[in-house]
Structure 1
Amino acid sequence: MRTTTVGDLRILLPDLDPDDLDSTSEVTDDLSDATVENASWRGAELEGVRIRSSRITGADLSESTWEPGTLFGCEITRTDFSGATLSGVTIERCAVTGSRFTGTRLTDIRVKDVLFEGCRFDYATLTRITAAGAVAFVDCILTDATWSSCRLPNIVFRSCQLARLELDSCQLHGADLRGNSLHDLKTSLGNLHGITLNEDQLPDITHLAVTELNLTVQRR
């Protein structure tokens, strides 16, 4: 069993043996124990597709549609989901590295034991994303993204770019946001209830409070 730790969060990761994987470039309704390299699935309609215990590298899934589906025990590397629509997909025990979700629409997604590292989520729309276990974003770009009605308790962000990330009706209780600039977040304070910060981030929270409460701060 392979694990990694981000902050205080322990994440179960896929433990794949390349000798056990069969090479393919075709997507089927039940893709299992496969290695996929540089496949072009741009604009594909993936209805009910289940991908398990597989390694996907350099694939193009931009502008694709995937609903519903399952992604379990997979390593996803340098894969392009730009402009894709994912709905009703369960993502569990996966490591997603260096992949692009620019402008992607993710709706009703369930995540558990998932590590996103070095990924782009700029201009992405995440709606009703629910964490049922450990989830972390490390060195990710989330600028100008919109998260709505997401339930992500205990999620961890590390060294992420969050400028103009908009949070609406989200529940992040127990989330660890240490090591990120919160100054340009577009959110009410209610979305940040119960999060963990470090002292250096207190000015960012003060800025958000002054903006939300429309306070006038004067120098004597």
Structure 2
Amino acid sequence: MITQGQVKNLEFADLYQVNLSGADLRGARLRGARLVEVDLSGADLTGADVRDVLGMWSRNRLDGATLDAADLRGSDLSGASLACVSLQGANLEDSRWESCDLRGADLTRARVGWRSIWLTESTFRQGNGASVWFDHADLSGAVMTEAHLPGASFFGARFDRVDATGGVFTGANFAQSDVSHASFDEADLCGVDFRSTRISGGSLRGTSLLGSVLIDTVITDVDLTGARTGGTVFWGSDAPSVATDHRIVHLGPSLHARVEAPSRTVLVMGGRESGNAAATLCSALQEVGLRPFLVDANDLRTPAGPVVAVRAFESHGAAIVFDDATDSSILTTLRRSVHGAPSWASRAFTVLSRDGLEPSANEASAGALDLDVAAAIELTRTRLSTNERYSTS
């Protein structure tokens, strides 16, 4: 029998068939507790310490419970019933929610600690594991706006009518999941595994899909207006129509029926004042046998910050940025990615003044430019200095 005085301190407690429905557990300490057939329906655990709780496959009920800002790191609540649970701003690092009923749950701004959004799909596959597990969970009707869950595993999960607007899911695993009538507008889905996933009747407006894998992915009646791709793998029955969709912003070459060598493509970031110089540069790049991708800095802005700029850069052999095209955070991030890249993955990167005639006064070349790129830049300077007019083809 648990007394009122004990209810706030349940650290490492062994709870079996305990009824705590509707209990006031705000700020309670449940770290390391073991839950078996515990009823926490409607309980208020706002700000509670729920770390390392073991409650997997034990018929626990947390329907309608409030776990806002709770610390759930390392907990395992697999198989629990959590319909309409509130997890706003909760820390879900290394927690497990496999096969949970999370219909109508509120995961607004839920996060996995401060895990870096730079982790890629390959990082998770090399033994570091997912950041949080929702495999086979039913998230129908859940709210996940601005959730920060990079590297999460949603294998076989159901996302019917989910609102994940502005969420960060970099490097997550959505393989074999059902994403029907869901909204991932302006979300960061870079490096996400969508293999054998069904995406239908939803919205991916402004979504970032750079480096994502869409193999045997079924995409029907989805709004892709402003979706961004680059280094994205499209393969399967829907590949031709999706990869060439005119509504998509192509920030780099994608892999589908025809594979293009990224080393022969160049990312060109131009701004409003550098329009003529950027167009002239793109023409020169084509003349020396390279394929330019002219993008606007606004196409690189996401809730995850400059990560999309790096993803776009990584899908090219080189990047040329005009100094009016972007802010200092993107330039700094690109510079770091150049210096931090291994020798086998090195890429050329330079910043030009907005008139294209000289290197920017605030930025020197951050890598040895490929000879063809250097030749194109020199050709551009010559044409601009003599006021020649060239249009892009």
| TM tier, smaller | 0.7 to 0.9
Kindly indicate whether residue 106 of structure 2 is the aligned counterpart of residue 61 of structure 1.
no
Kindly indicate whether residue 168 of structure 2 is the aligned counterpart of residue 120 of structure 1.
yes
From 150, 158, 170, the equivalent of 1:102 is: 150
Give the Cα separation in 2 of the matches to 1:215 and 1:87: 34
Higher normalized strand content (fraction of residues) = 1
**Matching residue of 2:223:** 176
Distance 1:200 1:160, change over 3 A: closer
Give the Cα separation in 1 of the matches to 2:201 and 2:251: 19
From 114, 123, 138, the equivalent of 2:185 is: 138
TM-score (norm 1): 0.75
Could you list the per-position Cα deviations for residues 77-121 of structure 1 after superposition, in whole angstroms to 9, with x for gaps in the alignment?
Answer: 211246112212111112112112211111111121111011111
Alignment of 1:15-164 (within 5 A): 22-24=43-45, 25=48, 29-81=60-112, 83-131=131-179, 133-164=180-211
Shift of 1:156: 1.3
Give the Cα separation in 1 of the matches to 2:63 and 2:252: 49
SS at match of 1:115: coil
Give the Cα separation in 1 of the matches to 2:80 and 2:161: 20
One-letter code aligned to 2:258 = L
Shift of 1:190: 3.4
TM-score (norm 2): 0.44
The runs of 5 or more residues in structure 1 that have no matched partner are 1-20
Shift of 1:208: 4.3
Which structure has more RCO (C-alpha within 8 Å, separation ≥ 6)?
Answer: 1
- Which one has a bigger Cα radius of gyration? 2
One-letter code aligned to 2:203 = V
Distance 1:196 1:177, change over 3 A: farther
* Counterpart contact for 2:240–2:257, Cα < 8 Å: no
Aligned residues: 197
One-letter code aligned to 1:80 = R
Shift of 1:193: 5.9
Q: Which moved more, 1:51-60 or 1:40-49?
A: 51-60
The runs of 5 or more residues in structure 2 that have no matched partner are 1-41, 116-130, 262-285, 288-393
Distance 1:148 1:95, change over 3 A: same
Give the Cα separation in 1 of the matches to 2:145 and 2:252: 33
Give the Cα separation in 1 of the matches to 2:260 and 2:207: 29
